[in-house]
Amino acid sequence: MVGFPDFTGQRWRTHGDTYELAVANGIEALESLMIAYEAAGDPLPQPTVFNAA
């Protein structure tokens, strides 16, 4: 499953039968979400950054 937790209030989720298909579907969903934010004039959220030790 692919989700976008930095986009608060959004419940966008996608998946695929394979890892590759899930990633491709995730990219498509993220592009659509970004277009929707741009059309509404809303700024994109700041990404959460995790540091690995």
Q: What would the pLDDT profile of 9-34 be if each residue is shown by its tens digit?
A: 767 778 899 999 999 999 998 999 89
Distance of CA 27 to the CA centre of its chain: 7
CB 5 within 8 A of CB 48: yes
The predicted pLDDT at position 39 comes to 97
The predicted pLDDT at position 4 comes to 86
Residue with more model confidence, 36 or 9? 36
Whole-number percent of the chain with pLDDT over 90 = 45
pLDDT-derived band at 35, boundaries 50, 70, 90: very high
Mean pLDDT for 34-48 is 93
The CA dihedral of 21, 43, 35, 2, to the nearest 10 degrees, is: 10
CB 14 within 8 A of CB 22: yes
